[in-house]
Amino acid sequence: PQATFNLGNCWLMQGKYDEAISSYQDALKAQQDWKEAQENLDLAISRKKLTESKGGDAGDQRLGADEIVFDKDKKNDEGQDTDITAEQAVNDASVQAVWLRQVQTKPADFLKSKFRYQAANRDQESQDHPLEAKTSDGGEP
């Protein structure tokens, strides 16, 4: 029942309401008094109804666009300017800054990984370039 419940959640998140309804019904057949499965089944049914209704606010919930039109030749003074200037262009530093803000790790874990990586590289380099034997006076053997 847990697997079919989770499958229903996946279908629901993807907007596949018929599949979600079927999965929740299967979960409820196996475990009839499951409150969360019943609530999600009701949600899937109501969302399906919204996608099928016509007009009003519910019309915004329908799947797909009405029509897609590209006006390449027409000059439109209304609307948004989508040209990107050099000042607006994304550079590597800003992308790295955004990525770094989204990293969700502890500094200790980060350092541990970094040191492990450095040690592995150091071991690999020592295998690739073994140190030459030297005498005590620094000359060749």
Give the tens place of pLDDT for each residue, 45-90. 988 888 877 554 444 555 565 666 666 666 655 655 566 666 555 6
pLDDT band at 107 (very low <50, low <70, confident <90, very high): confident
Confirm if 12 and 39 have CB atoms less than 8 A apart: no
Rounded Cα distance between 7 and 105, Å, is 30
Which of 14-18, 67-71, 128-132 is predicted with the least confidence, judged by mean pLDDT? 128-132
pTM above 0.85, yes or no: no
Confirm if 27 and 5 have CB atoms less than 8 A apart: yes
* Separation of first and last alpha carbons in the chain: 74
Which residue from 20, 34, 14, 39 is spatially nearest to 4, judged by alpha carbons? 20
- Using DSSP, state whether 140 is helix, strand or coil: coil
